[in-house]
Chains A and B, each alone.
Chain A
Amino acid sequence: MSSDVILVIVVGTALAFDFTNGFHDTANVVATSISTGAARPQVAIGFAALLNFLGAFISISVAATVAKDVVDAEIITPTIVFAGLIGAIAWNLITWYFGLPSSSSHALIGGVVGSAVAAAGLDAILAEGLVGKVLIPAVVAPILAFLVAGVAIGLSYRVVGGQRPGIVSRGYRYGQIVSGGLLALAHGTNDAQKTMGVITLALIANGTLGAEADPPTWVIASSAVAIALGTYSGGWRIIKTTGTRIIKMDPAQGFSSQGAGAAVILASTHFGFPLSTTHVINGGVMGAGAAKRLSAVRWGVAGNIVFAWLLTLPAAAAIGALTYGFTRIFGSGALGPILVTLMALSLIGAAFARRAQQGAPVTAAGG
């Protein structure tokens, strides 16, 4: 009975994380389309939410990696998964509060790894999967997006260089409807699968599913709905950081950065790499800016983003570990997770109230 209560809390928390993931990452998906004038904010965000939803259904490779290749499912308990999720949500909200586009994915994996180590030591970690499927792709993917976007924009400028600017800008703005859509689809498929993977991990840990089971349909559908709702409610603060503060983009740069981001995320998703979509998209944006003119990239802002990226894994891991330690004070039953959930809800409410008092952020719903 107690373990079922914890499982229900874990599923609810995972879907809440999925919501915050969509909320946090809206900026990454729509910022370039908005900043180049390819789409109005409400239209871009609504379109992105729909494609995030659809994207969640096209693959389960990443979910399998998160559920089976990062931590040892036989050692993991639902409480460990819960503590990891709290670590990820807390770090997502901290970076949202300060307007930093850090990685929801690294926060999730960091949180789960931190709580697993706190509970069972280093034996709980599957080093091969963590390094080979998470850490190495985490480094390679943004660099790849940077290079692909840089080469692509260089080629584009050569091809359309002699054309009238009006036709070129209009053409790439139309193109951004497709490239932005693909980016949203890619985001939905990679990021929603992480939540599916975590819920599946909790179901395996609870004995509800067998060790080699795939995510059930209700897990896929609920993850799709949560990320789509989060995307639709997305945060305007980070849209500003990604869309205008890293570089001021023209439509060709927007198209090539979105195309590069979508290509890298979709290819990685196919092989089950749970990437940081934030890192990849920002890598593409910086590549498109740097190829035109190195000084076009506001390297100070980019440096702050990199700093937040580096901090994400250890910070989420530390919060996950502390959360697990706190829940254990109340034994192995449901009391610890219930108390942590109540405390987390209070803190989230306070953070939103404080932000509302300061007059920001402006959400999609609020314009």
Chain B
Amino acid sequence: MIASIVQAKELWQTVVASVAAGIGVTFAFSMAIWGVGQFSELSRNDRPLAAALAAVAASLALTAVAAAVVFGIVVMTHK
């Protein structure tokens, strides 16, 4: 009876999507902040190549955040 009432599939998909988006986006954004921090530190220490790599990492992480946000909104509007 309970098993038929619980919308297990939808509930499970909600859990997976929430975990992936909630943790994934926060992690990616934290990586962006880490990249900016490293870039600033390495630039000050005259290590341009390492600083450039940190900047690339920060940019990639920010792009991932933006892509996740856009993807989420597109999925929402297509049902």
Contact = CB atoms under 8 A, between A and B. Distances in A.
A144 B34 CA distance: 27
A136 B8 CA distance: 10
B26 A144 contact: no
B40 to A, nearest CB: 7
B25 A263 contact: yes
A271 B17 CA distance: 11
Contacts of A339: none
Given A155-B23, A255-B29, A260-B26, 4 more contacts: A58-B77, A145-B18, A152-B26, A268-B14
B77 A175 contact: no
Contacts of B11: 136-137, 140, 271
Contacts of A270: 14, 17, 75-76, 79
A189 B21 CA distance: 17
Interface of A: 58-59, 61, 127-128, 131-133, 136-137, 140-141, 144-145, 148-149, 151-153, 155-156, 159-160, 162-164, 167-168, 171-172, 175, 178, 182, 185, 189, 252, 255-256, 259-260, 262-264, 266-273
A267 B40 contact: no
Contact of B30 (A128, A159, A182): A159
22 contacts: A131-B5, A132-B6, A141-B14, A145-B22, A148-B23, A152-B23, A153-B26, A159-B33, A160-B30, A163-B34, A167-B33, A171-B32, A175-B33, A182-B69, A255-B29, A259-B22, A263-B22, A266-B21, A267-B14, A267-B17, A271-B10, A273-B14
Specify the main secondary structure of chain A where it touches its partner: helix
Interface of B: 4-7, 10-11, 13-15, 17-19, 21-23, 25-27, 29-34, 36-38, 40-41, 65, 69, 72-73, 75-77, 79
A167 B26 contact: no
A144 B33 contact: no
Specify the main secondary structure of chain B where it touches its partner: helix
Contact of B69 (A59, A152, A178, A272): A178
Contacts of B40: 164, 167
Given A127-B5, A270-B76, A156 B27 contact: yes
B76 A178 contact: no
Contacts of B37: 160, 162-164, 167-168
A141 B10 CA distance: 13
B5 A128 contact: yes
B50 to A, nearest CB: 15
Contacts of B75: 270
A173 B79 CA distance: 32
Contacts of A171: 29, 32-33, 36
Contacts of B22: 145, 148-149, 152, 256, 259-260, 262-264
B29 A58 contact: no
Contacts of A164: 37, 40-41
A74 B65 CA distance: 46
Contacts of A58: 73, 76-77
A148 B19 CA distance: 6
A145 B19 CA distance: 9
A159 B15 contact: no
Contact of B18 (A163, A168, A260): A260
| Among A59, A140, A175, A269, residue most surrounded by chain B Cβ atoms (within 10 Å) | A175
Given A189-B76, A267-B13, A159 B21 contact: no
